[in-house]
Amino acid sequence: MKSDSRTASDQSARERIRHSLRESFIVEAAAGTGKTSELVRRIVAVLQNGLTTVDRIVAVTFTRKAAGELKLRLRQELDRARRESNEATQNRNLETAIAQLEEASIGTIHSFCADILRERPVEAGIDPGFEELSEDQAPLLFDRAFREWVESKLNDPPAGLRRALSRAMSGYGGDNLSPLDRIREAGWKLAERRDFPKPWRREPFEREQETDDLVEAVSELAEMCSQCKKPADELFKALRPVRDLVGRIQRAERERRRDYDELEGLLLNLLRELKRNQKKGRGFFAPGVDRETVLKARESLISCLEAFKVKADADLAALLKAELQGLIQRYEELKAQSGALDFVDLLIRARDLICNNEGVRGYFQQRFSHIFVDEFQDTDPLQAEILLLLSSDDPTEKNWRNVHPVPGKLFLVGDPKQSIYRFRRADVLLYLEVKQVLMKAGVRLLYLSQSFRAVPAIQQLVNAAFESEINGDTVSGQPEYVPLEPFRPAQETRPSIVALPAPQPYGVYAVTNDAIERCLPDTVAAFIHWLVKESGWRISSPGNAGESIPIAASHVCVLFRRFISWGDDVTHAYTRALEARGIHHVLVGARSFHQREEVETLRAVLNAVEWPDDELSVFATLRGSLFWVPDGVAMKWGNSILFVLCPILCRRS
């Protein structure tokens, strides 16, 4: 009964989206519920009923690819509506919309802001012929600004930069970035958030005194540990970083005064090492030192180090933020010299133009009659401010939190659960705030819960896994969970969820992750082979919902949590297992493509063809997996054989 009421609510929401065109809505919907399709249908309904013209519509999507797909889907839906409509006025409206579709403002928020700035460049105070920096170009220009800035600072680095470099050089950071690369990354993050220019608060922090106290605690723990005469003791081995740090401090302070910048990084690195290995061992520890005393001392040191880390991180962040403003300023100067704006500039300049100029704000409020936003959970503060101000019914209002949208002008769809990915500064707390502001202003909230993508069993699994975790806690930034509801019937002839066991999970003594990971590639490939070749299972045809077809390799998707683990290509064993069973596959997004054997073989062949004097490439080609010419023949007749085999290779390709 509960499911039936939810389904009815879902259908009611879809009806309101398509027919209640003078109401503004926020639509929350999970993946697979057709929220983009509903957005397209609403646009078509608005145009079909003559409420506006296509040139006065704004449709904002997250990526350019999505914008292209949205425009294509809109064209298809307009054609469908025209074929099905029997009313003359509606037909004329649809034909006009189709003819003028290219005039619609359908694109990313950044392209929309660029169009606004190009239309009113004088009021925005920018070069009318400005260039938009792409996501690849902006970091390159920033790199140039960083090199110039850091070269001017390294002779006499300020306190924050010196501390940050000392941290990085001490090994603290846990990544493969160089010390300067870490500073550069911090600067780039600030550059992306330069619309928040206020300085950060610095709390009182007696860094030197707290460092001295921690060094004393480390020394005391090292002294306790030194009494142990059992090198194989697990606790003794776990405390090796403590002993190493004390020795390093003692050696350094024989030569020079205590370096607090270096010690800060070393202490933070020690915290990471102690938390990584917290083995306790057992039995007798050392004469006069019981194990429990050492364990309590370690716990106390970890607690003190964690408190120190919080204070030190906050203090350094505020200090470094102030010092990096010179870097941000240099980046701004380079962009101004080249007449370029990056993505954040487009948002800031458009926001300032709309917010600070009442005449321009009123013009664009009249210019655009309807605003549609897809994937609204990915919005950031600037985007929200721009879109809400343009939807306002009061041209004098410049605070987006006080905006009352024109009835029917605003239509937002999104899935707040996906805001955890924080694309381009997106934040679920901002989404929740915007939602509350709009609901107070009369915008209605609708939910779409019927998912067209998955079978009921998978939906039940998702609901059971996430319904208790996503609890709507606004303090921690949790959206409300909307359970998925079924659309298609359950599959009675086959299971929809299979828990594939690892056949060889045991290491030397017990179950280990390494053993599981080693046996999984062949296990997964064997299951896919059985699924495709032997199971006889059928699925609904993607092109025809009423038809069932046998499962093929193209219907199977293997997802990886990561492609690279400890320098190894995780996907390699899986692709080899699939190849061994003759299962056709496509690998998408792997990072080690150019290190694969077949790719290296082809590169060697191309090098040999392009540069026949490259004896190493010629020999690698002839002795490789493509030809395998004997050593003696390859050494004597290499280039001649290659000349003969090249046409064969081309025909094979």
Tell me the pLDDT band of 641, cut-offs 50, 70 and 90: low
Summary mean pLDDT of the chain: 87
Q: How confident is the model at residue 2 (pLDDT cuts 50, 70, 90)?
A: very low
Kindly report which listed range (91-100, 148-157, 623-632) carries the lowest average pLDDT score. 623-632
**CB atoms inside a 10 Å sphere around CB 256:** 7
Q: Which spans in 441-550 are helix H?
A: 456-466, 513-533
For residues 462 and 388, membership in a common domain is answered with yes
Q: How far apart are CA 299 and CA 221, in angstroms?
A: 11
Q: Is residue 440 part of a domain?
A: yes
Do 29 and 70 fall within a single domain?
A: yes
Predicted pLDDT of residue 4: 43
Is it the case that residue 401 has pLDDT exceeding 80?
A: yes
Q: What is the dihedral of CA 327, 332, 338, 342, to 10 degrees?
A: 110
Residues 638 and 548 in one domain: no
Residues 366 and 453 in one domain: yes
348 three-class SS: helix
Residues 311 and 203 in one domain: yes
Percent of the chain's residues with pLDDT above 90: 54
pLDDT in tens, 11-50: 999 999 999 999 999 999 888 888 899 999 999 999 999 9
Q: Is residue 505, in this structure, part of any structural domain at all?
A: no
The residue among 288, 306, 338 that closes a domain is 338
489 in a structural domain: no
Mean pLDDT for 487-513 is 86
- Rounded to an integer, what distance in angstroms lies between the CA atom of residue 348 and that of residue 351? 5
Take residue 279 and report the two structure tokens written for it: 């083995």
Q: Is residue 493 part of a domain?
A: no
| Angle between helical axes of 137-153 and 179-192 (0-180°, round to 10) | 120
Instruction: Label residue 332 by pLDDT band (50, 70, 90).
Output: very high
Q: Which is more confident, 5 or 468?
A: 468
Percentage of the chain with pLDDT > 70? 89
Quote the CA–CA distance of 18 and 27 in Å, as a whole number: 12
**Which structure tokens are listed for 456?**
């009921």
pLDDT, mean of residues 416-428: 64
Strands 370-373 and 131-132: unpaired
Q: Is 390 helix (H, G, I), strand (E, B) or coil?
A: helix
Length of the chain: 653
DSSP assignment, residue 199?
Answer: P
In a domain, 176, yes or no: yes
Residue 425 pLDDT class (50, 70, 90 cuts): low
Distance CA 358, CA 94 (A): 34
What single string gives the DSSP state of each residue in 171-198? TTTSSS--HHHHHHHHHHHHHHTTT--S
Of 313, 338, 363, the residue at which a domain comes to its end is 338
Q: Which of 60-64, 140-144, 394-398 has the lowest mean pLDDT?
A: 60-64
Q: Is residue 603 assigned to a domain? A: yes
Q: Of the candidates 421, 406, 517, 448, which has an alpha carbon nearest to the alpha carbon of residue 23? A: 406
Whether residue 54 sits in one domain with residue 12: yes
- One domain, residues 539 and 609: no
Determine, yes or no, domain membership for 477. no
Is 486 contained in some domain?
no
Give yes or no for residue 3 having a pLDDT over 50: no
Retrieve residue 166's tokens.
Answer: 């000392």
Instruction: Average the pLDDT over 531-537 and give the result.
Output: 92
pLDDT mean over 208-223: 95
For residue 627, CA distances in Å to 582, 605, 621, 638 come to 21, 11, 7, 12
Q: Which of 24-28, 350-354, 447-451, 487-491 has the least mean pLDDT?
A: 487-491
In the predicted structure, residue 650 carries a pLDDT above the cut 60: no
Q: Give the model confidence (pLDDT) of 589-616 as tens digits.
A: 766 555 666 777 788 778 877 777 777 7
Q: Which amino acid is at 594?
A: H
Residues 380 and 526 in one domain: no
CB distance 387 to 414 below 8 Å: no
Which residue has tokens 């007798």?
284
Domain boundary among 466, 496, 531: 466
- Residue 580 and residue 439 in one domain: no
CA pair distance 467, 299, nearest whole angstrom: 36
Q: Which residue has the higher pLDDT, 20 or 617?
A: 20
What residues make up the domain containing 645? Answer: 596-652
* Domain co-membership, 330 together with 238: yes
pLDDT digits (tens, 9 = 90+) for 546-581: 788 899 999 999 998 888 777 788 888 999 999 999
Average pLDDT over residues 304-333: 94
Q: What is the arithmetic mean of pLDDT over 99-104? A: 92
Q: How many domains does the chain have?
A: 4
pLDDT at 112 over 90: yes
Comparison of pLDDT for 593 and 367, the residue scoring more: 367
Q: Is the pLDDT of residue 190 over 50?
A: yes
Which of 144-158, 220-234, 533-547 is predicted least confidently? 533-547
Residue 477 pLDDT > 90: no
* pLDDT value for 653: 46
Residues 242 and 171 in one domain: yes
Which two tokens mark 530?
Answer: 């059985």
For residues 114 and 200, membership in a common domain is answered with: no
CATH number assigned to the domain comprising residue 392: 3.40.50.300
Q: Which amino acid is at 345?
A: D
Lowest pLDDT segment from 113-117, 142-146, 419-423, 600-604:
419-423
- pLDDT band at residue 403, thresholds of 50, 70 and 90? very high
Alpha helices in 20-155 (DSSP H): 35-48, 64-84, 88-99, 109-119, 121-124, 137-153
pLDDT tens, 224-248? 998 998 889 999 999 999 999 999 9
